[in-house]
Amino acid sequence: MEFSNFILRPGQEEVLSNLRGGKSVFACLPTGYGKSLCYEIPAHLWKWKTIVIAPLKALLDSQYQLMVERGVMAVIIHSGLSANERKKSMQTLESGEWEILSISPELLEHWWKNKILEHLLRKHKVGLFVLDEVHCAVEWKKFRSSYLLIDGIIKEIIAQKIPVLGLSATLEAAAIMELKERWPINFSLVQIPLGRSNLYLHVKACENRNHKLLILLFLLKNIQSPKAAIIYCASREETELLASFLTSCGLPACVFHAGLPEIRKMERVQQFLNGYLPILCATTAFGMGVHYPFVEKVIHWGLPSGLTEYWQQAGRAGRSGDAAESILLWSRSDILSLRALKVEEQGKIRAILRYLLAKKCRKSLLTEYFCIQDEQENCGNCDVCLKRELLPGKLFSEPVWWEGGAQYAEKNFLNLLGFGDGSA
């Protein structure tokens, strides 16, 4: 691929001009917008040796594959490589014949502790340090300690005047604030409107589990390979239960979660990418780094852990540009399950509840949540904008607790969850 023939989009241009001036940038660009060009151009055209940290092996692998296809001299290091592959990567690094090094946070931490990183920075004059999916440094720090320890590495990078580029499709205001406190970076913030005008958003309050199952069957009845639907569930057990229910109804459903053996997970990802898995019941473990353009529906079976996770997952539908749908199904029991969350998660819960009970355009709510400037007030492609019901005809009456309006409901839910009087 000839990078010089590329017409840059507005966000990409802004990122590159900041980097060119030696300034760090955090960029929030929609999925499919071309985030990787923001570091491939400095690495490949400007010859800035670049280190890219990405959270998952699957993501590192798929990015590496794309870079090699584009003619970028890429090196990859993560724990999933064989001893031989790792040795080869290390030899390439030592030779200096590389442009981009992609690495997991855990290995980078190991390198930092063992002074390998210091050696690399000194010997090869690294010109750019990239954190792909930078929101993970906030969201995943509790169970991936390397995302906390990365703070020390960033300080080192900044001390050496190497610009830092943070990339994400979902960077909420609280996350930006936290990273500003943790990292001494004076960065420019580049944000592009959420876009994805082909993606229809719908939230459906269901009376109970049976109501949800009925709607799910209605939504999946026409899904056939190569089209696909992903159903995101909160637990492994739920993915298994749903898949066996759907299979018993004659639908081609499969399961993906972190508890599967590694070989089975790889098999499932490959089958999905080849278009052989029309319906996948998955936990949040599935999706990052898996780019299948023909996902027609992303269905949330219950509540995601926050709007960041929700938008990351919803954005996996419709990457081909064809019409696609994101549908969130919820019922009272899903709200009660939020009781397990800690008090510090309250802000996230409130945001989800506002989204569920929205009386205004859903995309505009997301835009507000991610603090993105967008002149368009209504997306014209969500259930609120279009005043659309999900099922033809009304099979169930709206639940009784729904009466009294959104505000009452939100307050009531917060009380149920034990958050005092729920006043905002």
The separation between CA 216 and the C-alpha centre of its own chain, rounded to angstroms, equals 23
Using CB under 5 A as the binding rule, whether residue 385 contacts Zn ion is answered as: yes
Least distance (Å) from Zn ion to the CB of residue 229? 22
Residue linked to tokens 């906390």: 148
Which candidate, 167, 150, 146, places its Cα nearest to that of 18?
A: 167
- State how far the Cα of 271 lies from the Cα of 248, in Å rounded to an integer: 21
Q: Within 10 Å of residue 383's Cβ, how many Cβ atoms?
A: 18
Least distance (Å) from Zn ion to the CB of residue 87? 53
Residues facing 47 on adjacent strands: none
Least distance (Å) from Zn ion to the CB of residue 383? 8
Least distance (Å) from Zn ion to the CB of residue 382? 3
Closer residue to Zn ion (CB): 107 or 382: 382
Residues facing 26 on adjacent strands: 166, 189
Using CB under 5 A as the binding rule, whether residue 379 contacts Zn ion is answered as: yes
User: E strand or H helix at 112, and its extent?
Assistant: helix 105-113
Using CB under 5 A as the binding rule, whether residue 194 contacts Zn ion is answered as: no
- State how far the Cα of 386 lies from the Cα of 388, in Å rounded to an integer: 5
Using CB under 5 A as the binding rule, whether residue 351 contacts Zn ion is answered as: no
Which residue type sits at 135? H
Site stretch for Zn ion (CB under 5 A), options 138-146, 203-211, 263-271, 360-368: 360-368
Using CB under 5 A as the binding rule, whether residue 167 contacts Zn ion is answered as: no
Q: DSSP E strands: which ranges in 243-294?
A: 253-256, 279-282
Closer residue to Zn ion (CB): 348 or 363: 363
Closer residue to Zn ion (CB): 121 or 386: 386
Q: DSSP E strands: which ranges in 4-43?
A: 24-28
Closer residue to Zn ion (CB): 211 or 362: 362
Q: What phi and psi, each to the nearest 5 degrees, are found at residue 142?
A: -70, -35
Least distance (Å) from Zn ion to the CB of residue 388? 11
Least distance (Å) from Zn ion to the CB of residue 223? 24
Cα separations in angstroms, 352 against 198, 247, 264, 296, 346 = 22, 31, 33, 23, 10
Q: Within 10 Å of residue 65's Cβ, how many Cβ atoms?
A: 12
Q: Which of 176, 206, 361, 365 is in the footprint of Zn ion by CB under 5 A?
A: 361
Using CB under 5 A as the binding rule, whether residue 366 contacts Zn ion is answered as: no
- State how far the Cα of 317 lies from the Cα of 187, in Å rounded to an integer: 31
Using CB under 5 A as the binding rule, whether residue 382 contacts Zn ion is answered as: yes
Site stretch for Zn ion (CB under 5 A), options 224-232, 266-274, 376-384, 407-415: 376-384
Site stretch for Zn ion (CB under 5 A), options 107-115, 186-194, 373-381, 394-402: 373-381
- State how far the Cα of 413 lies from the Cα of 424, in Å rounded to an integer: 12
Closer residue to Zn ion (CB): 166 or 193: 193
Site stretch for Zn ion (CB under 5 A), options 37-45, 188-196, 229-237, 353-361: 353-361
Contacts with Zn ion: how many residues (CB under 5 A)?
Answer: 5
Least distance (Å) from Zn ion to the CB of residue 103? 39
Give the up-direction half-sphere exposure of residue 382: CA atoms within 13 A in the CB hemisphere.
24
Residues facing 189 on adjacent strands: 26
Least distance (Å) from Zn ion to the CB of residue 380? 6
Closer residue to Zn ion (CB): 29 or 361: 361
Site stretch for Zn ion (CB under 5 A), options 179-187, 192-200, 275-283, 383-391: 383-391
Specify the DSSP class assigned to residue 290: -
| Interface ranges with Zn ion (CB under 5 A) | 361, 363, 379, 382, 385
